[in-house]
Amino acid sequence: MDFVGFAGGSAVMQLSPAGTASLDNLLNTSFETLVQGLRYIDENGEKPDGELGSHFTPLVLNGLATLCGGIGGKGLTRIEFTTDDVTHFVLTKQTQVSLRQIQKQSVETQTTIVGRLHMGDFEPLSLKCRIDTSVGSVWCDFDIDLKNDVFDQLDQLVMATGSAELQSDGTVRVLHLVELTPIETSRTSSLEELAAEQGVRSLQDVGELRGAPVDDFEVFLDALRVARGDE
């Protein structure tokens, strides 16, 4: 699609098919499939079963969930796709919820990981972050309702829970984040604080390392020579 115009107020983005005749039929068929699938999701909510169609792969579902990522909070409330007076479909908070539930049913496991939260992307239509665990980095996406939690816990150790899309080797490809909890860590004390706690001070004179004189040192040396077999 080509971006051909934009209007103020409730933002209106005007699109038109790209000028490639060979793709017109494919574009129309794809859009009709998209409309039918979203209508089915709107009518059936979290129970897509097989009737949703094979075209709605995890990758497509993830793209639609990302498109809905900015809906919620105090900002975007809905996204409408219309042609003249015809409304093809409307994306709402409920659509977002349904898509996330369908994603959970299409992935293999509900997963919890522990790691340090890094690299937050807070652009409404991307909303991603990275969690570095002991076995590698995991990319996470999240809805706008979790934006403040992610922002507040950057660079902290966290426990993240969500539905995971897994690689063929069982590692997490992406985690669809639904809950984020900070983990308390012990505070690291400075050398000065540790010294004060243990009642020690820095060395002022190397002579302090000698310690007190040893009584009967010669007797000790004689015993050592005997033990070594020296005459």
Q: Which residues are CB-contacts of 19 (< 8 A; sequence separation ≥ 6)? A: 2
Q: Where are the domains of the chain?
A: 2-106, 109-182
Q: Print pLDDT tens along the chain (231 aa).
A: 677 777 766 777 787 776 666 655 778 888 888 888 888 888 877 655 555 666 777 778 878 888 887 787 677 888 888 888 888 888 888 888 888 777 766 555 678 889 999 888 887 777 889 999 888 889 998 888 888 899 999 988 999 998 887 775 667 888 888 889 988 876 677 788 888 888 887 777 777 777 677 677 788 788 888 888 776
84 phi and psi angles, rounded to 5 deg = 55, -115
Please tell me the pTM assigned to this model. Answer: 0.45
Per DSSP, the chain holds a count of helices (H) and strands (E) of 6, 9
Q: What torsion do the CA atoms of 143, 149, 153, 159 make, to the nearest 10 degrees?
A: -70
| CB of 96 closer than 8 Å to CB of 141 | no
Beta-carbon contacts of 104 under 8 Å, excluding residues fewer than 6 positions away, are 110, 163, 176
CATH superfamily of 109-182: Nucleic acid-binding proteins (2.40.50.140)
Indicate the burial class of 172 (C-beta count within 10 angstroms; 0-12, 13-18, 19 or more). buried
| Cβ neighbours for 172, distance < 8 A, ≥ 6 positions apart | 111, 113, 138, 164, 165, 166
Say what the pLDDT of residue 186 is.
63
Cα distances (Å, whole numbers) of residue 98 to 68, 136, 189:
11, 30, 48
| Measured distance CA(42)–CA(215) in Å, rounded | 93
Alpha carbons 142 and 128: distance in angstroms, whole number: 6
How far apart are alpha carbons 165 and 208 in whole angstroms? Answer: 63
